[in-house]
Structure 1
Amino acid sequence: MKIYTLTTTQHLPVPQQKAWDFLSNPSQLENITSSDLSFKPVHPLPQKLKEGMTFRYQIRPFLGLRMNWQTEITRIEEGSMFIDIQRSGPFRYWQHEHRLIQKTDGTEMRDTVDYAMPFSIFGNIAHRIFIRKMLEDIFEYRKRAIATYFENN
Protein backbone atom coordinates (compact mmCIF):
# COMPACT_ATOMS: atom_id res chain seq x y z
CA MET A 1 0.00 0.00 0.00
CA LYS A 2 1.52 3.30 -1.10
CA ILE A 3 1.00 6.08 1.46
CA TYR A 4 0.82 9.64 0.12
CA THR A 5 1.21 12.73 2.31
CA LEU A 6 -0.30 16.16 1.82
CA THR A 7 0.84 18.94 4.17
CA THR A 8 -0.48 22.48 4.21
CA THR A 9 0.27 25.39 6.51
CA GLN A 10 -1.56 28.63 7.06
CA HIS A 11 -0.84 31.65 9.21
CA LEU A 12 -3.82 32.82 11.25
CA PRO A 13 -3.59 36.33 12.75
CA VAL A 14 -5.29 35.26 15.98
CA PRO A 15 -4.21 33.71 19.30
CA GLN A 16 -3.98 29.92 19.37
CA GLN A 17 -7.04 29.56 21.63
CA LYS A 18 -9.25 31.47 19.20
CA ALA A 19 -7.98 29.31 16.33
CA TRP A 20 -8.62 26.19 18.44
CA ASP A 21 -12.18 27.26 19.28
CA PHE A 22 -12.90 27.48 15.57
CA LEU A 23 -11.00 24.40 14.40
CA SER A 24 -12.32 22.09 17.12
CA ASN A 25 -15.95 22.96 16.32
CA PRO A 26 -17.15 20.24 13.89
CA SER A 27 -20.17 22.33 12.88
CA GLN A 28 -17.74 24.71 11.10
CA LEU A 29 -16.78 21.97 8.62
CA GLU A 30 -19.61 22.76 6.23
CA ASN A 31 -18.54 26.43 6.17
CA ILE A 32 -14.99 25.62 5.06
CA THR A 33 -15.82 22.93 2.49
CA SER A 34 -16.39 23.83 -1.15
CA SER A 35 -19.91 23.36 -2.44
CA ASP A 36 -18.31 21.43 -5.32
CA LEU A 37 -18.08 18.45 -2.95
CA SER A 38 -21.79 18.54 -2.05
CA PHE A 39 -20.68 17.85 1.53
CA LYS A 40 -23.60 16.86 3.75
CA PRO A 41 -23.35 15.56 7.31
CA VAL A 42 -25.69 12.60 7.86
CA HIS A 43 -26.40 13.82 11.41
CA PRO A 44 -26.14 17.30 12.93
CA LEU A 45 -22.56 18.05 13.92
CA PRO A 46 -21.77 18.94 17.54
CA GLN A 47 -20.14 22.17 18.67
CA LYS A 48 -17.15 20.49 20.35
CA LEU A 49 -14.86 17.56 19.62
CA LYS A 50 -14.36 14.58 21.91
CA GLU A 51 -12.09 11.59 21.44
CA GLY A 52 -13.97 8.63 20.04
CA MET A 53 -16.60 10.71 18.25
CA THR A 54 -17.55 9.49 14.80
CA PHE A 55 -19.02 11.57 12.02
CA ARG A 56 -20.77 10.43 8.87
CA TYR A 57 -20.96 12.53 5.72
CA GLN A 58 -22.05 12.20 2.15
CA ILE A 59 -19.92 13.77 -0.55
CA ARG A 60 -19.93 13.93 -4.32
CA PRO A 61 -16.26 14.45 -5.14
CA PHE A 62 -16.46 13.81 -8.90
CA LEU A 63 -18.88 12.89 -11.66
CA GLY A 64 -21.81 13.40 -9.28
CA LEU A 65 -21.08 10.04 -7.61
CA ARG A 66 -22.38 9.98 -4.05
CA MET A 67 -19.97 8.52 -1.50
CA ASN A 68 -20.35 7.89 2.20
CA TRP A 69 -17.50 8.85 4.50
CA GLN A 70 -17.16 8.07 8.20
CA THR A 71 -14.37 9.51 10.33
CA GLU A 72 -13.43 9.09 13.98
CA ILE A 73 -11.61 11.50 16.27
CA THR A 74 -8.85 9.30 17.67
CA ARG A 75 -6.68 11.77 19.57
CA ILE A 76 -7.00 15.27 20.99
CA GLU A 77 -4.39 17.46 22.63
CA GLU A 78 -6.66 20.19 23.92
CA GLY A 79 -5.84 23.56 22.42
CA SER A 80 -3.24 22.34 19.97
CA MET A 81 -3.99 19.18 17.97
CA PHE A 82 -6.46 16.50 16.97
CA ILE A 83 -6.41 13.54 14.61
CA ASP A 84 -9.25 12.09 12.61
CA ILE A 85 -9.08 8.82 10.72
CA GLN A 86 -11.37 7.39 8.08
CA ARG A 87 -13.37 4.39 9.28
CA SER A 88 -15.07 3.97 5.91
CA GLY A 89 -15.02 6.03 2.77
CA PRO A 90 -13.35 6.75 -0.54
CA PHE A 91 -9.75 6.07 0.54
CA ARG A 92 -8.07 2.84 1.51
CA TYR A 93 -6.45 4.77 4.36
CA TRP A 94 -6.85 8.34 5.65
CA GLN A 95 -5.37 10.01 8.71
CA HIS A 96 -5.63 13.79 9.11
CA GLU A 97 -3.66 15.62 11.80
CA HIS A 98 -4.80 19.18 12.54
CA ARG A 99 -2.12 21.07 14.49
CA LEU A 100 -1.95 24.61 15.87
CA ILE A 101 1.36 26.22 16.81
CA GLN A 102 1.52 29.53 18.68
CA LYS A 103 3.71 32.13 16.95
CA THR A 104 4.59 35.65 18.06
CA ASP A 105 2.25 37.14 15.43
CA GLY A 106 -0.59 34.64 15.60
CA THR A 107 -1.00 30.92 15.05
CA GLU A 108 0.32 28.53 12.45
CA MET A 109 -2.22 25.94 11.39
CA ARG A 110 -0.68 22.80 9.92
CA ASP A 111 -2.64 19.99 8.32
CA THR A 112 -0.95 16.70 7.52
CA VAL A 113 -2.93 14.05 5.71
CA ASP A 114 -1.54 10.56 5.14
CA TYR A 115 -3.67 8.59 2.74
CA ALA A 116 -3.70 5.58 0.43
CA MET A 117 -5.77 4.97 -2.66
CA PRO A 118 -8.09 2.00 -3.15
CA PHE A 119 -7.97 -0.20 -6.25
CA SER A 120 -4.20 -0.84 -6.22
CA ILE A 121 -2.48 0.33 -9.41
CA PHE A 122 -5.69 1.85 -10.80
CA GLY A 123 -6.12 4.00 -7.70
CA ASN A 124 -2.51 5.13 -7.93
CA ILE A 125 -2.99 6.10 -11.57
CA ALA A 126 -6.15 8.05 -10.64
CA HIS A 127 -4.11 9.74 -7.91
CA ARG A 128 -1.54 10.94 -10.44
CA ILE A 129 -4.18 12.03 -12.95
CA PHE A 130 -6.63 13.91 -10.71
CA ILE A 131 -7.00 12.88 -7.04
CA ARG A 132 -3.89 14.70 -5.76
CA LYS A 133 -4.95 17.90 -7.53
CA MET A 134 -8.49 17.54 -6.20
CA LEU A 135 -7.19 17.23 -2.62
CA GLU A 136 -4.89 20.23 -3.06
CA ASP A 137 -7.85 22.25 -4.36
CA ILE A 138 -9.99 21.19 -1.39
CA PHE A 139 -7.34 22.41 1.05
CA GLU A 140 -6.76 25.64 -0.89
CA TYR A 141 -10.50 26.38 -0.70
CA ARG A 142 -10.40 25.60 3.02
CA LYS A 143 -7.48 28.01 3.54
CA ARG A 144 -9.37 30.82 1.79
CA ALA A 145 -12.56 30.15 3.78
CA ILE A 146 -10.68 30.13 7.09
CA ALA A 147 -8.82 33.33 6.19
CA THR A 148 -12.12 35.01 5.36
CA TYR A 149 -13.65 33.81 8.63
CA PHE A 150 -10.84 35.33 10.73
CA GLU A 151 -10.87 38.57 8.73
CA ASN A 152 -14.56 38.98 9.62
CA ASN A 153 -14.55 37.74 13.24
Structure 2
Amino acid sequence: MPRIELRTEIKADKRIVFDLSRSIDLHKISTEHTNEKAIAGKTSGLIGMDESVTWRAKHFGIYQNLTSRITEFDRPKYFADEMVKGAFKEFKHEHHFAELNGGTLMTDFFDYKSPFGILGKLADELFLKRYMTELLTERNRIVKEFAESEKWKKFLTE
Protein backbone atom coordinates (compact mmCIF):
# COMPACT_ATOMS: atom_id res chain seq x y z
CA MET A 1 0.00 0.00 0.00
CA PRO A 2 1.57 3.34 -1.01
CA ARG A 3 2.11 5.92 1.73
CA ILE A 4 2.56 9.63 1.29
CA GLU A 5 4.09 11.47 4.23
CA LEU A 6 4.23 15.27 4.37
CA ARG A 7 5.52 17.55 7.11
CA THR A 8 4.57 21.23 7.09
CA GLU A 9 5.86 23.78 9.58
CA ILE A 10 3.34 26.54 10.23
CA LYS A 11 3.86 29.65 12.34
CA ALA A 12 0.42 29.54 13.99
CA ASP A 13 -1.37 28.03 16.97
CA LYS A 14 -2.13 24.34 16.47
CA ARG A 15 -5.85 24.84 17.26
CA ILE A 16 -6.09 27.20 14.28
CA VAL A 17 -4.13 24.82 12.03
CA PHE A 18 -6.22 21.85 13.19
CA ASP A 19 -9.51 23.62 12.49
CA LEU A 20 -8.39 24.98 9.12
CA SER A 21 -7.41 21.42 8.16
CA ARG A 22 -10.98 20.26 8.71
CA SER A 23 -12.61 23.23 7.01
CA ILE A 24 -14.73 22.20 4.04
CA ASP A 25 -14.63 25.78 2.73
CA LEU A 26 -10.83 26.04 2.85
CA HIS A 27 -10.52 22.64 1.17
CA LYS A 28 -12.59 24.02 -1.73
CA ILE A 29 -10.05 26.84 -2.15
CA SER A 30 -7.11 24.42 -2.16
CA THR A 31 -8.71 22.31 -4.89
CA GLU A 32 -10.07 25.03 -7.19
CA HIS A 33 -7.92 23.69 -10.05
CA THR A 34 -9.91 20.40 -9.98
CA ASN A 35 -13.25 22.23 -9.74
CA GLU A 36 -13.89 20.33 -6.50
CA LYS A 37 -17.30 20.83 -4.87
CA ALA A 38 -18.86 19.39 -1.71
CA ILE A 39 -22.15 17.92 -2.95
CA ALA A 40 -23.48 15.83 -0.03
CA GLY A 41 -23.04 15.33 3.69
CA LYS A 42 -21.21 18.19 5.40
CA THR A 43 -20.87 20.76 2.59
CA SER A 44 -19.52 23.76 4.51
CA GLY A 45 -18.03 24.66 7.88
CA LEU A 46 -15.90 22.36 10.03
CA ILE A 47 -16.26 18.61 9.66
CA GLY A 48 -16.19 16.53 12.84
CA MET A 49 -16.29 13.00 14.21
CA ASP A 50 -18.55 10.60 12.28
CA GLU A 51 -19.45 13.25 9.72
CA SER A 52 -18.96 12.63 6.03
CA VAL A 53 -18.59 14.71 2.89
CA THR A 54 -19.01 13.76 -0.74
CA TRP A 55 -16.72 15.61 -3.13
CA ARG A 56 -17.17 15.94 -6.88
CA ALA A 57 -14.01 16.84 -8.77
CA LYS A 58 -12.36 16.52 -12.15
CA HIS A 59 -9.23 14.35 -12.12
CA PHE A 60 -7.52 13.12 -15.27
CA GLY A 61 -10.29 14.71 -17.37
CA ILE A 62 -13.09 12.73 -15.68
CA TYR A 63 -15.56 13.92 -13.05
CA GLN A 64 -15.51 11.63 -10.03
CA ASN A 65 -17.32 11.47 -6.69
CA LEU A 66 -15.56 10.53 -3.47
CA THR A 67 -17.12 10.21 -0.02
CA SER A 68 -14.96 10.27 3.09
CA ARG A 69 -15.85 10.14 6.78
CA ILE A 70 -14.06 11.33 9.90
CA THR A 71 -13.27 8.11 11.79
CA GLU A 72 -10.89 9.38 14.50
CA PHE A 73 -10.88 12.77 16.21
CA ASP A 74 -8.83 14.22 19.09
CA ARG A 75 -8.86 18.03 18.84
CA PRO A 76 -6.34 19.68 18.44
CA LYS A 77 -3.85 16.80 18.08
CA TYR A 78 -5.18 14.39 15.48
CA PHE A 79 -7.97 13.36 13.15
CA ALA A 80 -8.35 10.82 10.38
CA ASP A 81 -10.65 10.55 7.41
CA GLU A 82 -11.30 7.38 5.43
CA MET A 83 -12.86 6.82 2.06
CA VAL A 84 -16.36 5.34 2.18
CA LYS A 85 -16.95 5.36 -1.57
CA GLY A 86 -14.84 6.47 -4.50
CA ALA A 87 -12.20 5.68 -7.09
CA PHE A 88 -9.64 4.19 -4.70
CA LYS A 89 -9.96 0.67 -3.38
CA GLU A 90 -9.44 2.33 0.02
CA PHE A 91 -7.65 5.21 1.70
CA LYS A 92 -6.95 6.62 5.13
CA HIS A 93 -5.63 10.14 5.64
CA GLU A 94 -4.16 10.85 9.09
CA HIS A 95 -3.64 14.46 10.17
CA HIS A 96 -1.26 15.02 13.14
CA PHE A 97 -0.56 18.36 14.84
CA ALA A 98 2.26 19.06 17.29
CA GLU A 99 3.69 22.21 18.82
CA LEU A 100 7.01 23.23 17.30
CA ASN A 101 9.02 26.36 18.14
CA GLY A 102 5.93 28.36 19.07
CA GLY A 103 4.09 27.15 15.97
CA THR A 104 2.75 23.88 14.62
CA LEU A 105 4.19 20.87 12.85
CA MET A 106 1.42 19.40 10.69
CA THR A 107 2.16 15.85 9.56
CA ASP A 108 0.03 13.99 7.02
CA PHE A 109 0.06 10.27 6.36
CA PHE A 110 -1.98 9.28 3.33
CA ASP A 111 -2.24 5.51 2.83
CA TYR A 112 -4.18 4.23 -0.14
CA LYS A 113 -4.84 1.22 -2.34
CA SER A 114 -5.55 1.66 -6.02
CA PRO A 115 -8.15 -0.48 -7.75
CA PHE A 116 -7.38 -2.77 -10.70
CA GLY A 117 -4.67 -4.93 -9.14
CA ILE A 118 -1.39 -4.84 -11.06
CA LEU A 119 -2.64 -2.03 -13.34
CA GLY A 120 -3.37 0.07 -10.24
CA LYS A 121 0.12 -0.58 -8.90
CA LEU A 122 1.58 0.45 -12.24
CA ALA A 123 -0.52 3.65 -12.16
CA ASP A 124 0.84 4.36 -8.64
CA GLU A 125 4.41 4.16 -9.88
CA LEU A 126 3.85 6.05 -13.12
CA PHE A 127 1.75 9.00 -11.94
CA LEU A 128 -0.80 8.53 -9.15
CA LYS A 129 1.49 8.84 -6.11
CA ARG A 130 3.07 12.00 -7.56
CA TYR A 131 -0.38 13.42 -8.42
CA MET A 132 -1.73 12.77 -4.92
CA THR A 133 1.42 14.22 -3.33
CA GLU A 134 0.97 17.41 -5.36
CA LEU A 135 -2.71 17.68 -4.34
CA LEU A 136 -1.87 17.25 -0.65
CA THR A 137 1.09 19.64 -0.86
CA GLU A 138 -1.13 22.33 -2.38
CA ARG A 139 -3.74 21.75 0.34
CA ASN A 140 -1.05 22.17 3.00
CA ARG A 141 0.29 25.30 1.31
CA ILE A 142 -3.17 26.87 1.52
CA VAL A 143 -3.60 25.86 5.18
CA LYS A 144 -0.21 27.42 5.94
CA GLU A 145 -0.99 30.61 3.99
CA PHE A 146 -4.30 31.14 5.80
CA ALA A 147 -3.01 30.13 9.26
CA GLU A 148 0.01 32.44 9.09
CA SER A 149 -2.05 35.47 8.11
CA GLU A 150 -5.33 37.01 9.21
CA LYS A 151 -7.11 35.06 6.46
CA TRP A 152 -7.96 32.23 8.89
CA LYS A 153 -10.58 34.53 10.48
CA LYS A 154 -12.74 34.13 7.35
CA PHE A 155 -13.32 30.49 8.37
CA LEU A 156 -12.90 30.38 12.15
CA THR A 157 -14.08 32.44 15.08
CA GLU A 158 -11.53 33.38 17.72
SS of aligned partner of 2:56: strand
Q: What displacement does 1:10 show?
A: 0.2
The two structures, once aligned, show a CA RMSD in angstroms of 1.5
**2:16 matches 1:13:** no
Of the three residues 18, 25, 43, the one matched with 1:45 is 43
Deviations 1:68-91 (A, max 9, x none): 100011110011111100001111
Q: Which residue of 1 aligns with 2:64?
A: 67
Alignment size in residue pairs: 149
% identity of equivalent residues: 20
Query: Letter of the aligned partner of 1:133 in structure 2?
Result: R
Of residues 91-100 and 137-146 in structure 1, the stretch that sits farther from structure 2 once superposed is 137-146
Paired with 2:17 and 2:47, the residues of 1 have a C-alpha distance of: 14
Structure 2 CA distance for partners of 1:73 and 1:123, relative to 1, 3 Å: same
Describe how 1:1-150 pairs up with structure 2 within 5 A. Answer: 3-33=1-31, 35-43=32-40, 45-62=43-60, 64-150=61-147
Paired with 1:149 and 1:110, the residues of 2 have a C-alpha distance of: 17
SS of aligned partner of 2:98: strand
Q: What displacement does 1:102 show?
A: 1.0
Do the aligned residues in 2 keep the contact of 1:36 with 1:61 (CA within 8 Å)?
no
Unpaired segments ≥5 residues, structure 2: 151-158
SS of aligned partner of 1:60: strand
Question: What TM-score results when the alignment is normalised by the length of structure 1?
Answer: 0.90
Q: What displacement does 1:130 show?
A: 0.9
Paired with 1:80 and 1:104, the residues of 2 have a C-alpha distance of: 16
SS of aligned partner of 2:115: coil
Q: What displacement does 1:118 show?
A: 0.2
